[in-house]
Amino acid sequence: MADETPHPAPADELPLEAPDLPDGKPEADEDDEPDYGYELNTAQFYNIVHKQLIHVTSETLASAKLDWELVEPFLNAARDVCRGDFVRTARVEVHGVTGEAGALEEAEEAFLSLSVADQDTGALWFEETWWLSDLILQAGDPARIRESVAALERTTARLKQWLETAEQNTSG
């Protein structure tokens, strides 16, 4: 069924300028800056600039092969930032309990966690956990696995000795 709404006849020529709005300002193009509804502070400005630089950098890297001399300074700077985050904020811990639904429960076995936060903001950017048995079984060699099990048994004995000493010092 055809549309029966009358359409205006097309204009012979398009205007050279955008029509003025009632307040005298020209209409904004879609390509103009977005209206955030507030004035940007310095941190927000730098965040936007940072995102745009990352976008331009990734577009450039995707479209052209850069010489190593151009890539190396970026890589070195990234390594320095990550190294600083690891040195100042990284945590490696062995756990025996998990937090399920807000309550601590005994884990099925010991697991290792590694977390790293941004040294400036404290926001975690890396957090990973592994079962100790999975880490040990990665060797795939029964002799290496036996060595690891023996080392874990020595570690367990040492930890039990420490606990006994600590309990004796607190009770006596």
CB 92 within 8 A of CB 99: no
- What distance in Å separates the CA atoms of residue 63 and residue 2, rounded to the nearest whole number? 47
The reply to whether 47 and 78 lie within a common domain is yes
Tell me the per-residue pLDDT of 42-69, one tens digit each, with 9 for 90 and over: 777 777 888 888 888 888 777 877 778 8
SS3 label, residue 22: coil
Q: Which residue has the higher pLDDT, 40 or 19?
A: 40
The reply to whether 141 and 81 lie within a common domain is no
- What distance in Å separates the CA atoms of residue 59 and residue 142, rounded to the nearest whole number? 48
In a domain, 67, yes or no: yes
Tell me the per-residue pLDDT of 81-132, one tens digit each, with 9 for 90 and over: 888 888 899 999 999 998 877 888 999 999 999 999 988 888 998 999 999 9
CB 56 within 8 A of CB 74: no
The reply to whether 115 and 144 lie within a common domain is yes
Can you name the residues that pair with 113 across neighbouring β-strands? Answer: 93, 129
Read off the pTM.
0.52
The reply to whether 105 and 153 lie within a common domain is yes
